[in-house]
Amino acid sequence: MDWVSQAVGRRSYGCDIVFEVMSTEDRDGVTFAWLVGRDVRLIADAPLDDLELMSERQLEEVDEQLRLKKKSLQPAESSGKREDEDARTFHLPGRVLHLDGDERYLKKCMKAYTELQVPHIGIHCAEKEMAECVKELLNQYQPQILVLTGHDAYLSGQGDKNDLSAYRHSTAFVKAVQEARRKMPNLDQLVIFAGACQSHFESLIHAGANFASSPLRVNIHALDPAYAAGRISYTPFKDSFSIRDLLPYTLASDEGIGGIETRGVLRTGMPYRAEIYTKTGNDT
């Protein structure tokens, strides 16, 4: 059979993650498949005899979990205005600049931001190039929230878990965070989420990230950076929040995402006049 584009799991891992087969190759007479997580930010390889095709029922169960999570994240307002005690107020959620090393995951995150009504700009950028371009992008888009993500992994054959050089892209994420902080050092002026699957959490926090993955070097969901940024975007700037407040709005636990106490970025203004925002026949 043609394995490319098939949804599979790895028997040796209990089929805990749904992958899509990107390609296959022969290695000393054994056929291996290159895999990319359908919903988890992970690239892996495995022999074909370790793969199991995922059933429609299994895929539907995973999709249903995501639908429930998205529903819990949906903001109350539908047009930039909250139905609160003062009907004349309006709200300005924080703008997200999202740099992603994986174009496919970037598109999924852009869709999530749109559904959550979060102002956003998405840039496909290789992890190792983020440090070079982040300052210019901050100047151009003036975001309140910066997301730096893509792919990462702990490579046990290259050192222990405390060794930053033993990670695929953690060093690149650290450098990008440092460059962003040189431009905007205030932790509340620019809220940074950095990292991907199994990233070196401690180094990212010390570099200046407010939130990062992965404290216990576990995988995170492809949409977790977007879900986290969406919650930050709608947290009032007068309120401070911690990782405990953020985690319920993601698919992660404190094993996958950690962070420091941070202020929100949502701003409230007035007056809100509905007639100004109502389209007429002359609108273009």
Residue type, 159: G
Half-sphere CA count of 231, side-chain side, radius 13 A: 25
pTM of the model: 0.84
In angstroms, the Cα distances linking 178 to 72, 126, 214, 243, 274 are: 33, 17, 18, 21, 43
Look at residue 217 in the predicted model and tell me its pLDDT.
Answer: 96
Look at residue 69 in the predicted model and tell me its pLDDT.
Answer: 66
- pLDDT category, 72, cuts 50, 70, 90? low
Look at residue 276 in the predicted model and tell me its pLDDT.
Answer: 60
Q: With beta carbons less than 8 A apart as the criterion, state whether 231 and 73 touch.
A: yes
Q: Which has the closest alpha carbon to 199: 184, 179, 216?
A: 216
Mean pLDDT along residues 183-193? 97
Check residues 40 and 140 and name the one with the higher pLDDT: 140
Domain boundary assignment for the chain: 7-54, 94-265
Mean pLDDT along residues 120-144? 97
In angstroms and rounded to an integer, the radius of gyration of the C-alpha atoms of the chain is: 20
| Mean pLDDT estimate for the chain | 88
- pLDDT category, 82, cuts 50, 70, 90? very low
DSSP character for 276? G
pLDDT higher than threshold 80 for residue 267: yes
The CATH superfamily of 94-265 is Response regulator (3.40.50.2300)
